[in-house]
Amino acid sequence: MDESAVIEIGTQAIKIIASLAGPMLIAAMLVGIAVSVMQAITQINEATLTFIPKMIAVIVVLAVMAPWMLETIQEYTIMIFTNMELWKK
């Protein structure tokens, strides 16, 4: 396995990780901003208030996106195993 193959595998892995984690992170960020705005409007400064809505948002996004995420991980794993013989040389 030469250096370019290792770099290519690592680059693809990082892209896939970012694309899989992105929707959940964006949902958590948007819910966090919305809760922060509501806290600023109502002047309620409770730090623990943001955790439950963020957790619910991440679970909902995970439940909705799970089939696509599983398919993406499967495609990457299949690609790794099918090209393993080529990279040995």
Q: What is this structure's pTM?
A: 0.79
pLDDT for 35-45, tens place per residue? 989 988 988 87
Radius of gyration of the chain (CA): 19
Full residue range of the structural domain in which residue 49 is found: 3-88
pLDDT band at 70 (very low <50, low <70, confident <90, very high): very high
Q: Rounded CA gap, 29 and 35, in Å?
A: 10
Instruction: Indicate if the pLDDT at residue 84 is higher than 90.
Output: no
Q: Rounded CA gap, 77 and 27, in Å?
A: 27
The percentage of residues in the chain with a pLDDT greater than 90, rounded to a whole number, is 60
Number of domains in the chain: 1
The percentage of residues in the chain with a pLDDT greater than 70, rounded to a whole number, is 99
Q: Which DSSP symbol is given to 46?
A: -
pLDDT for 53-65, tens place per residue? 999 999 999 999 9
